[in-house]
Every structure is written in structure tokens, then in C-alpha cells.
């Protein structure tokens, strides 16, 4: 398998935090070709419940490839917890453009669907999905294997990923599944126990609260739209910290672990290494359980998850590629069988405290699990230490915030190592003599003593650089509940503790610290105060994994050569310093020809190791005062171009200049660029104003430079900026993200689908916002598939097809002369039938009584005469050409790509 493209090294802390905040978690994000698919919104009534007698109305959307010969295979696409069918809109459109019939729906209890939330219960959500399979089997457009058995794959992330697994285990009609960032055992996920004991796990209150707080409505204010048994289980565990048998049974029922031996559908498991909710061990358990029955299984790890992550562009490319490859082979029947190799990526310097941000991709012949293919054993030093458990777990150590890992914890607390004095013990290794590639779950032996016979502990592994700065990989913590403990540490027996699996390169000169704490903000600690004594025995075991690098490292700029130069003769020192100064001047020199131009792209090319060429050759210019629209069908290269522009991926060839400065990793000129790429990400419990302040602090720039009031005035947010973002609609979050991009009033604004989720009045206002922004020497580059909006908003357009520019210039020049006419008629259906028989290229309804007709050389008089002879009244015939017409003429009928990377 080919490599995950490597994300360029970013030397600035600012760039690292900005990219993290911009990341989004979705399976893949590509801009669909409008002409490649059709969509129908509908309501599907299913019979749900244990007896199948409870009607539930599901808000659904059915998409079909516009151009198809015969019946097509289908994909059932499920959303994540708290989402709706709109949450996976782009995924659905991309799959439809690829040739699949796609059915996506809002699960019961969410959005406009009726019913309650049962946590993917086999009696409810899974049974609903089975009825949707029935619905697909009845559609005349969908290919079937036998009567009632559609040819179908199931794709979903998190909540939708578990549904895919449970459905495949319950219904053998499923032909392939791609579950991502999901769970194996819901009880273990919310009550993790990292020690080799039979004690009940520790309640993950932070994440449970996020889920339970995300549902509103319903008859019971305490439960929202959750089913009564789910509500009771949550309230009981959140109060006591331990589940009763009813709660355990409920969580177990919603766990794919119960059906793995019945899954016969080939399974691609995608799991994120930046996930404090469902860590890598959950996918590992799913993979082992499914593979044990002989079902084909493939596993891929990526540098993302429920807590965001780094390098979204490259890893999303890999996820898209693997998903399409899997579905095409096992559902569509195209292409060779995917190999058994294992693909993963590794982030070094992940937290906001690190100086560098690097993502490397690797592959290995087979999936090794979370135990790696080798081990490194390091000796831990430190004597037995007493630690205090505070009353009610307050104050608590802060390791991660739900959905943000350790990155925002670092930003808000000032240090990732936010352990409370007196409440934690530290054990350390000697400095490493060489680097270690860790890929899996570290382990150690822990001893503990307690006067109560019990203890709840939180074990963490910090990577400490030579300057003493600690980093907790992805905010991952191992909770441990111990019982039957002695009062004296000398009487305690060692217990093996397995830490969450990580993927990290430990550098030479770094030390490792094992911290054992009594509290953690993310978990529920015992309410009673107590003092424990803890110690570690022997060694820290680190699983290692050696793979084949699947991308070549980017160039690294070397600085601070003074120490080496000082050891050389004075004459050589002068010579080297002179040469170094010349090199540096060349790097930072400004191209005076472009100094006044916001953006110049020349000869841009992006090719991947697997042979896919996302961008063949692209070059264009954005001048001051312009609003430039970047247009193109699915797979044209638009998203890749924006990712290169924002440093999310590196080009194979070509250059980008921003105000004359060549764009390189960590370039300071990026401070003059504002962007919304890969989707917005905000802290739900902060107001819009507080989110914007946190974002600006992360850039390290003075608050007065934010020009906050001016940005808000242009964006038009008004008083809503002081509301908590968890109460924002999708459209309001989009407006806040655009306001965030405008902070500091950057001279170049880059926006990917800025009108996504906005209603028509908001779209009209956004049009005015962008036009107002492109004043006073500023410029805007906007990628959008809404051609009518581009035509009304943009001064210029760049049309891309198959990785090349097919047209660029002022919008009115691209629109040009009209090959089509608008015809007002008295009978639209009859006129459509008559015109289609005349050999015109297309007939498109435009309102209640008008048609847009592409004449295809047919004389206008012949068209009118044919309509009149047939008794159809013609009220008006006028030339009509829109940007959409020009776009379709430029890209042609053979424009469908293989996925916009």
C-alpha cells in the first residue's frame, strides 16, 4: 500500500494551533459535481422496537448518480452522535458521484426524525437500518443480489460506525462495511479499566456529559430525547460512579462485541490515535473478533479522532482512498482485492507546547495489533510516594477536554502537565540514548496501598524534552480502580497497568515520566478523601513498530550553526557565515514582481505515491479588490489547491507567492492570510466571543491587532456572538468561523464553501460580506459549488477540470455569449417533451412556466414553430446564459473525477 502523504513541518507554535482548530473530523470532505447526482429528501416510516410495532418517521435523503447504465450498487451512510443526514451531505454526494445509490438518514431521536435515542440498540436503531435495507431493495435503480437483498455497503463514523458493525452482525444482506472511530464495547468505553483486575471501570464523566447534554427536547427535561432506560443508566452512573446490572446489560446490548462472530461482510476499520473517547484498543478488539471468523479485515490508523488531530489533509486523503477502494471492490465489484497491509501515521510534537508539527506515514505487511512487533524496556526510578485523593475529586488534574484532547487543555491551563501538587507521584526513566518509534499500548507494574482497601488512580505517560517541557500524547489517560489493597505498600502486590495505545516517536535525549494521579477532570473520582501510597516495579514496556516510510521527508531549514562554526578557524567562520547569510537572503527574498499581489500560484502540481494526480498543473493570480471563485467538478483539484495554499499538504511541484513571499512551512507571511478550510471547530461551552478570543490568543499576536469589532461588523454576527456555540445552528457556526478567519482583517481571505449550511437570506448576506471585505486593498479566494452565488458574488473565476485550468478571468468574460435561451410557455411538461425530441442538448425547468434550453445549434425559429404547432403557447423567448452554462460547457460531460483530494 502506498504512503500517507506527509504534512509539512511547521516550525511555529502559531501555525500548529491554527491548523488544529481548523481540522475537522469527517470521513472525507470533497466538493461534489452538481451534475453528477440527483437528490431526493423524503420521510421513511419504519416499524421499530422489540416487537416491530412502533412507527418511527425517519428524515432521509436518497441520492443517485445522474449518469448510470442499469442498476447501481448502494451505500447506507450513517451519521455520528448528535448529527443528522446533513452532517454527511458531502460524503453522500461524493459517493453518489462515484456511482453509488446513497441513502442517508437522521437516526431516531435526532433532528427531524421521531423516536428516541437508544444508543444503537439492536431493537431500535439497528432494526431501523434493516428496514432501510428493505427500502433500498425495492428501489428500481438499486442492484440486488436476490429478491429483497440489495447490493449494499454501510459506512459510518462513531455512532454510525457502531451501527455499521451491529447491522452487519444482525443482517447478512450487508456486503461490506467501513466503520470508523467507533467502539467495540460501550461499557468499557465509558467505564474503562486499565488494570488486570476484575474491578468495575472508572466512569468517563466528561464524555458522557457531552453526549447526554447534546440531546434536547422530549417530554422529560432531565432526559431530553433519550429513552427512559438510557436516561436511568446515565443518571445512576453519573451519581454513583458505578453501574448496576441493568446499566451494564444496556451498554452491552449496544456493543458490536456481541455480534463480531456473526459479521461476514468484509470490514475496513479506521481508527484515530487522537481519541480519548474511543481509543485504538476499540478497533483492535473489533479487528480480532471479526478476523477470528475468517472475514476479510483491514485496519488503518490515522492522526485524528474525536479530539481532532493534526495533518487532516493527508490523512483524509488516505481514508478517502481506502474507503473508495474497499467499496469499489467488495460492493461494486471493481478493482483488485485490497491488500492485507497495515497503514498508520505518526505525529511528533503534537501538543501546542511543542516547537514542531510533523506527520509521517508508514505501512507494514500486516496489522500487528496494539502490542507492536517489538518492545523497548526502560527502567523507571522513584521511590514509593504518598498521594492524596481530594474530597469529591476537586480540584482535579486536567489532562484533556472532551473533543479537544490535550491541545486546548494546554491553551487554557498554560501547561499540559496540569497535575495537582500532593495529588500525584512521578517516576522517570533516564534520558533516551536513541529514538524509539512507539506504536501500541505501553505497560508497567503498579503497586498501591490504601487505608480503605480501595483506590482510583490515573496513570499517564509524559514525553519530556531536554528543556523540561512535558507532552501527554493526545491527552490519553489510563484509569485504574483497585480493590482489596493492603494498608502498607510493602504488602502490596504488583498489578499490570496497560496504558492507552499511542503512536509517537520518542527522541534521543528525552526522558519519560509515569505520573500516577488521584483525580482527573475527565473521570469521576471517589467522593471521600483518602491518602494512598503508590510505587512502580521494574520496567516500562513500550511496543515498537517498524514500517516502510510512505512519503519522503520535507526539506528542513537549519539554523543556529554558531556552535559548530565556533570550532572552526576564524577564516572559515567568516566564509561559512557569509554563505549562510546569502542562503538565508535567498530564502526570505521578496519577489518584487509579485510584492503587491495577494496571491500568485504558478505551475502547481500534486501527485501521490499511489499514482493518483490530484492537481496536474494550476496557475492563477488573485489581485487586490478581487473576489475570485475557484470552481470545478468533483475531483478537479480545488480542495487540494486550498490545502497546499494553507500548508496542510505539500506540492510536488510549483510555487505559491503571497505578496511576493514564497510560501514555505511556517512562513510568517501566513499571518496576512485568513482561512476557513476543512471546517470550523469550536468549544461548545464557550460563547462565540470567548472562542474567538481563545483562537486569537493561540496565534500569539497582541489583542489590539485582532481588530475584533471591525471583523464582527463585516461578518454581521451581532449579539449572537455572546451566545454559547453549543446552541448555534450549523449556519451560525459557519458565520462564526468566517468571523474567525477575518480576525486581524488579513489582506487575503481564503474560504472553502463559506455558504455551507446557510439559508437563502444568510447566503445573500454572505454575498454582501465578501464583497465588502474585498475593499481597502484586500482580496478573497472562495471555493464553492453554488454557481449562481459565485456569479453574483465574485468578480473573477478560475475554472479547474481534471487538475488543470480550463478558463480564468472576469466572470462576465467567462459567461460570454449565450448558447441557450429562456422560453416562457403555457405547458411546461408538454414543451419539455417536444423540445427533447428536437435534438436540443438540454431542457431545464426554471420556475413554474419557464424552461432553459441549450439549443445545440437548433434554429430558434424551428423551436418556436414546433411548440406552436403542438398547441403550446410561447410567451417569451430570450437569450440566456449563466455561469452554470459556461461551467458545463467548459468541463464537458466527461468531468467526473475519482474524488477531490
Task: Provide the pLDDT for residue 529.
Answer: 92
Task: Provide the pLDDT for residue 868.
Answer: 82
Greatest pairwise CA separation for the chain in angstroms? 104
Question: Residue 495 pLDDT more than 80?
Answer: yes
Topology (CATH) of 371-549: Jelly Rolls (2.60.120)
Of 127-136, 511-520, 718-727, least confident by mean pLDDT is: 718-727
Task: Provide the pLDDT for residue 567.
Answer: 42
CA distance linking residue 498 with residue 492, whole number of Å: 18
- Strand 653-658 to strand 842-845: parallel, antiparallel, or no bridges (unpaired)? unpaired
Positions of CATH 3.30.70.980 in the chain: 818-880
DSSP 704: G
Grid coordinates belonging to 53: 410495532
Residues 463-480 pLDDT 10s? 998 988 888 887 899 999
Question: Residue 82 pLDDT more than 80?
Answer: yes
Task: Provide the pLDDT for residue 13.
Answer: 33
Beta bridge partners of 297: 267
Task: Provide the pLDDT for residue 27.
Answer: 33
Question: Residue 260 pLDDT more than 70?
Answer: yes
pTM: 0.62
The better pLDDT of the pair 611, 709 is held by: 709
Q: Mean pLDDT throughout 221-236?
A: 86
Positions of CATH 3.40.50.300 in the chain: 595-814
The Cα-based distances of 534 to 462, 480, 492, 513 in angstroms read 18, 12, 9, 15
Task: Provide the pLDDT for residue 404.
Answer: 56
Task: Provide the pLDDT for residue 890.
Answer: 64
Task: Provide the pLDDT for residue 621.
Answer: 93
Residues 731-785 pLDDT 10s? 778 888 888 888 888 888 888 878 776 667 777 777 788 888 887 788 999 887 7
CA distance linking residue 83 with residue 730, whole number of Å: 11
Task: Provide the pLDDT for residue 898.
Answer: 40
Positions of CATH 2.60.120.260 in the chain: 371-549
- Strand 385-389 to strand 548-549: parallel, antiparallel, or no bridges (unpaired)? unpaired
Task: Provide the pLDDT for residue 491.
Answer: 95
What is the end-to-end Cα distance of the chain in Å, rounded? 17
The better pLDDT of the pair 311, 751 is held by: 751
Residues 696-725 pLDDT 10s? 877 767 888 888 888 777 767 778 888 888
- Strand 796-801 to strand 779-783: parallel, antiparallel, or no bridges (unpaired)? unpaired
Grid coordinates belonging to 761: 437570506
Residues 378-423 pLDDT 10s? 999 999 999 999 998 888 888 877 765 544 333 333 334 478 889 9
Topology (CATH) of 595-814: Rossmann fold (3.40.50)
Residues 527-577 pLDDT 10s? 899 999 999 998 999 999 988 876 433 322 222 333 333 344 445 544 454
Task: Provide the pLDDT for residue 26.
Answer: 31
Q: Mean pLDDT throughout 179-188?
A: 95
Task: Provide the pLDDT for residue 214.
Answer: 58
The pair phi, psi for residue 599, each rounded to 5°, is -150, 130
Q: Mean pLDDT throughout 4-11?
A: 34
The better pLDDT of the pair 523, 865 is held by: 523
Answer for the pair 689, 636: CB distance below 8 angstroms, yes or no: no
In a 3-state reduction of DSSP, which class is residue 727? helix
Q: Mean pLDDT throughout 664-679?
A: 71
Task: Provide the pLDDT for residue 35.
Answer: 44
Count Cα atoms within 13 angstroms, Cβ side, for 669: 23
Task: Provide the pLDDT for residue 611.
Answer: 66
The pair phi, psi for residue 462, each rounded to 5°, is -100, 140
Question: Residue 672 pLDDT more than 70?
Answer: yes
Of all residues in the chain, what percent carry a pLDDT higher than 90? 40
Question: Residue 460 pLDDT more than 90?
Answer: yes
Please enumerate in sequence order all residues whose Cβ is within 8 A of that of 579, keeping only pairs 6 or more positions apart, or say none.
none
Averaging pLDDT over each range in 251-260, 577-586, 625-634, which range is the top one?
251-260
CA distance linking residue 468 with residue 465, whole number of Å: 5
Beta bridge partners of 478: 459
Q: Mean pLDDT throughout 654-673?
A: 78
Q: Which CATH class is domain 818-880?
A: alpha beta
Grid coordinates belonging to 107: 437516526
Other Cβ atoms closer than 10 A to 414: 9
The better pLDDT of the pair 528, 224 is held by: 528
Amino acid at each position: 500500500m502506498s504512503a500517507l502523504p506527509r504534512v509539512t513541518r511547521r516550525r511555529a507554535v502559531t501555525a500548529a494551533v491554527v491548523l488544529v482548530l481548523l481540522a475537522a473530523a469527517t470521513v472525507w470532505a470533497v466538493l461534489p459535481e452538481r451534475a453528477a447526482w440527483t437528490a431526493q429528501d423524503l420521510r421513511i416510516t419504519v416499524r421499530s422496537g422489540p416487537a416491530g410495532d412502533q412507527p418511527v418517521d425517519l428524515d432521509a435523503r436518497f441520492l443517485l448518480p445522474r449518469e448510470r447504465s442499469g442498476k447501481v450498487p448502494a451505500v447506507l451512510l450513517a451519521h455520528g452522535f448528535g448529527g443528522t443526514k446533513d452532517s454527511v451531505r458531502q460524503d453522500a454526494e461524493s459517493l453518489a458521484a462515484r456511482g453509488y445509490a446513497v441513502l442517508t438518514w437522521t437516526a431516531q431521536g435526532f433532528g427531524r426524525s421521531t423516536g428516541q435515542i437508544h444508543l444503537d440498540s439492536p431493537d431500535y436503531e439497528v432494526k431501523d437500518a434493516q428496514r432501510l435495507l428493505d427500502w433500498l431493495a425495492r428501489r428500481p435503480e438499486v442492484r440486488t443480489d436476490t429478491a429483497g437483498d440489495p447490493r449494499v455497503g454501510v459506512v459510518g463514523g462513531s455512532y454510525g460506525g457502531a451501527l455499521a458493525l451491529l447491522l452487519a452482525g444482525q443482517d447478512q444482506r450487508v456486503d461490506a462495511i467501513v466503520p470508523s472511530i467507533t467502539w467495540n464495547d460501550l461499557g468499557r468505553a465509558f467505564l474503562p479499566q486499565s488494570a488486570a483486575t476484575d474491578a468495575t471501570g472508572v466512569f468517563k464523566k466528561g464524555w458522557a456529559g457531552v453526549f447526554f447534554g447534546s440531546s434536547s427536547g422530549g417530554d422529560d427535561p432531565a432526559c431530553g430525547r433519550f429513552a427512559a432506560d438510557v436516561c436511568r443508566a446515565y443518571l445512576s452512573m453519573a451519581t454513583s460512579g458505578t453501574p448496576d446490572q441493568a446499566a451494564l446489560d444496556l451498554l452491552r446490548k449496544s456493543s458490536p462485541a456481541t455480534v463480531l462472530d456473526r459479521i461476514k461482510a468484509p470490514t475496513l476499520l479506521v481508527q484515530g490515535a487522537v481519541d480519548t473517547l474511543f481509543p485504538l484498543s476499540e478497533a483492535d478488539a473489533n479487528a480480532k473478533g471479526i478476523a477470528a471468523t475468517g472475514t476479510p479485515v483491514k485496519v488503518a490508523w490515522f492522526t485524528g479522532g474525536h479530539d481532532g488531530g493534526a495533518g487532516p489533509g493527508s490523512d483524509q486523503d488516505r481514508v478517502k482512498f481506502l474507503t473508495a477502494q474497499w467499496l469499489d471492490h467488495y460492493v461494486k465489484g471493481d478493482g483488485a482485492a485490497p491488500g492485507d497491509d497495515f497503514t498508520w501515521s505518526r505525529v511528533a510534537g503534537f501538543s501546542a507546547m511543542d516547537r514542531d508539527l510533523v506527520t509521517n506515514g508508514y505501512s507494514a505487511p500486516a496489522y500487528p495489533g496494539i502490542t507492536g512487533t517489538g518492545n523497548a524496556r526502560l527502567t523507571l526510578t522513584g521511590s514509593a510516594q504518598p498521594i492524596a485523593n481530594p474530597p469529591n475529586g476537586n480540584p482535579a488534574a486536567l489532562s484533556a477536554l472532551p473533543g479537544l484532547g490535550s491541545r486546548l487543555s494546554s491553551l487554557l491551563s498554560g501547561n499540559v502537565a496540569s497535575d495537582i501538587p500532593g495529588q500525584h507521584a512521578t517516576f522517570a526513566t533516564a534520558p533516551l540514548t536513541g529514538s524509539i518509534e512507539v506504536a501500541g499500548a505501553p505497560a508497567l507494574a503498579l503497586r498501591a496501598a490504601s487505608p480503605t482497601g480501595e483506590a482510583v488512580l490515573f496513570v499517564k505517560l509524559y514525553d519530556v524534552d531536554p528543556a523540561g517541557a512535558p507532552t501527554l500524547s493526545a491527552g490519553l489517560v489510563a484509569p485504574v480502580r483497585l480493590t482489596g489493597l493492603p494498608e502498607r505498600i510493602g504488602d502490596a502486590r504488583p498489578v499490570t497497568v496497560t496504558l492507552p495505545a499511542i503512536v509517537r516517536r520518542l527522541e534521543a535525549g528525552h526522558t519519560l515520566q509515569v505520573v500516577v494521579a488521584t483525580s482527573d477532570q475527565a473521570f469521576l473520582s471517589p467522593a471521600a478523601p483518602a491518602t494512598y501510597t503508590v510505587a512502580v516495579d521494574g520496567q516500562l514496556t513500550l511496543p515498537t513498530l517498524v514500517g516502510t516510510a510512505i512519503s519522503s521527508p520535507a526539506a528542513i531549514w537549519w539554523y543556529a550553526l554558531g556552535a559548530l562554526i565556533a570550532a572552526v578557524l576564524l577564516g572559515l567562520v567568516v566564509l561559512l557565515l557569509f554563505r549562510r547569510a546569502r542562503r538565508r537572503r535567498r530564502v526570505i527574498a521578496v519577489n518584487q514582481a509579485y510584492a503587491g499581489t495577494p496571491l500568485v500560484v504558478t505551475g502547481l502540481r500534486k501527485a501521490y505515491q499511489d499514482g493518483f494526480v490530484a492537481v496536474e498543473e494550476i496557475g492563477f493570480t488573485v489581485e487586490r479588490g478581487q473576489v475570485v471563485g475557484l470552481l470545478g467538478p468533483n475531483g478537479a483539484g480545488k480542495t487540494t489547491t486550498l490545502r497546499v495554499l494553507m500548508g496542510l499538504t505539500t506540492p510536488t511541484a510549483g510555487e505559491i507567492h503571497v505578496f511576493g513571499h514564497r510560501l514555505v512551512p511556517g512562513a510568517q507571511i501566513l499571518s496576512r492570510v485568513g482561512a476557513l478550510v476543512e471546517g470550523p471547530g469550536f468549544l461548545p461551552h464557550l460563547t462565540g466571543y470567548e472562542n474567538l478570543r481563545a483562537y486569537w490568543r493561540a496565534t500569539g499576536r497582541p489583542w489590539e491587532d485582532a481588530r475584533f469589532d471591525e471583523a464582527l461588523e463585516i461578518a454581521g454576527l451581532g449579539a449572537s456572538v455572546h451566545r454559547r456555540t453549543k446552541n448555534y445552528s450549523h449556519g451560525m457556526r459557519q458565520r462564526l468561523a468566517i468571523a474567525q478567519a477575518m480576525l486581524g482583517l488579513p489582506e487575503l481571505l481564503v474560504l472553502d464553501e463559506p455558504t455551507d449550511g446557510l439559508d437563502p437570506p444568510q447566503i445573500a448576506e454572505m454575498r454582501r460580506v465578501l464583497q465588502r471585505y474585498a475593499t481597502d486593498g484586500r482580496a478573497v479566494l472562495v471555493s464553492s459549488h453554488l454557481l449562481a452565488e459565485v456569479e453574483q458574488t465574485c468578480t473573477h473565476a478560475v475554472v479547474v477540470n481534471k487538475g488543470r485550468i480550463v478558463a480564468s478571468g472576469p466572470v462576465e468574460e467567462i459567461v460570454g455569449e449565450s448558447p441557450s435561451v429562456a422560453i416562457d410557455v403555457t405547458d411546461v411538461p408538454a414543451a419539455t417533451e417536444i423540445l427533447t425530441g428536437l435534438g436540443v442538448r438540454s431542457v431545464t425547468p426554471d420556475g413554474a412556466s419557464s424552461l432553459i434550453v441549450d439549443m445545440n445549434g437548433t434554429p430558434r425559429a424551428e423551436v418556436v414553430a414546433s411548440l406552436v404547432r403542438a398547441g403550446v403557447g410561447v410567451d417569451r423567448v430570450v437569450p440566456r446564459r449563466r455561469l452554470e452554462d459556461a461551467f458545463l460547457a467548459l468541463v464537458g460531460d466527461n468531468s467526473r473525477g475519482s474524488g477531490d483530494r
